[in-house]
Amino acid sequence: MRGNPEQEIDAESPIALSDSPSAAAAFSTDSSERRQLTIMACNIVDSMALSARLDPEHMRDLITAFHKAIDDVVSRFDGFVAQYLGDGALVYFGYPAADEHDTEQAVRAGLAILDTVRTLKAGSGVPLRARIGIATGLVVVGEQLGTGDIAKRVAIGGTPNLAARLQAAAPPGEVVIAASTWRLVGRMFDCRALAAIDVKGLPQPVEAWQVRGEAAGVSRFEARRASAQSALVGRQEEIELLLRRWDQAKLGEGRVVLLSGEPGIGKSRISETLLVRLEGEPHARLRYFCSPHHTQSPLYPLITQLEQAAGFEPGSDCSAKLDKLEKHKVNTRSHPPVPVLGTGPSSAVDPLCRGARGPDPCLRP
């Protein structure tokens, strides 16, 4: 067994050994850098009771399976397992390679780990449970801390300790995130605000949110931006072209418009502006969002759009979902024919509107 199965990931564990003279000497400043990381702390629930009830070899097998489950999930979501600490693990997102989706991936990985851990049995058929804390912040991270076989890639700063404290405060089988993480994921996840948590060493309690699942049908543009937007500047020609194509679609002429271009030039904003301009007109809106994180999920954009249209709620059982699908089908049949504005993959390209790839305005009758 690796380490003490009851070792907690907190300020007293190896992630906080930076105050030690020997650790400081072993940490090479030449290989260290300041990075913003999203850090996940994950622990088995009630491991003390498990270790008292199970044979040591069985406990070792259980922790080994737990570590493997974490490793498999984290690798799918581009994370980096920095340390296994007995019955827990510390995982970095944004290291060694950074990506704009790191924070989202950390939360998705946390939810996936909980689902996977539930399939493990802690003896007598009792499902194993874990709890997870996630925080985002600036740290100093280097190639190694320590020497020889015990060398570890350790992030130094308040973020790992905050993640550990949130993990300790999380209910069994839940993911709790810090305010710094919640601000980055925005409305992409269904989150419930918790009471402020007292954290040892901090003068004020910290805000925390419980993640109940991923929100359906919310684009990254909507999730990361405030409700009030500044005026759109320099895109009047593109907006007018889209409105002309919409007028043609209302007259029965099929129209498809594709916006494509480099990231950050305003494609999503153009699409959102068009939707605002059409708010007073009768139309049905279909929105489909592709994602590089769901390449293994067949028909993900179609399923997500249908879930949103039917009003699925996180945690609903199959019976409740079926009832909502039946109700949605009846409501759809009762609607009179109207022009359709869809956002998603298109098969035809309007040559007059190139230069802008995000939610693609597809206009057709």
Predicted confidence (pLDDT) per residue in 196-216, tens digit: 888 877 888 999 999 998 876
Shared domain for 142 and 80, answered yes or no, is yes
- 328 assigned to some structural domain: yes
Shared domain for 196 and 289, answered yes or no, is no
Q: Which amino acid is at 114?
A: L
Q: How far, CA to CA in Å, does 84 sit from each of 13, 88, 154, 207?
A: 11, 6, 12, 27
Instruction: Indicate the pLDDT class of residue 172, thresholds 50, 70 and 90.
Output: very high
138-152, 222-236, 237-251, 276-290: which is most confident: 237-251
Shared domain for 248 and 182, answered yes or no, is no
Assign residue 179 the CATH number of its domain.
Answer: 3.30.70.1230
249 versus 22: the higher-pLDDT residue is: 249
pTM: 0.68
Taken in order 333, 334, 340, 341, the sign of the CA dihedral is negative
Instruction: Indicate the pLDDT class of residue 149, thresholds 50, 70 and 90.
Output: very low
Quick one: which of 36, 62, 31 has its CA closest to 151?
A: 31
Q: What is the pLDDT of residue 347?
A: 39
Whole domain around residue 93: which residue ranges? 14-215
Shared domain for 160 and 251, answered yes or no, is no
Choice among 65-79, 80-94, 105-119, 207-221 with the minimum mean pLDDT = 207-221
Tens digit of pLDDT for each residue in 104-114? 999 999 999 99
| Structural domain count of the chain | 2
- 228 assigned to some structural domain: no
Q: Residue 182 and residue 164: Cα distance in Å, rounded? A: 16
Residue 214 phi/psi, 5-degree rounding, is: -85, 135
Looking at the DSSP bridge assignments, the partners of residue 183 are none
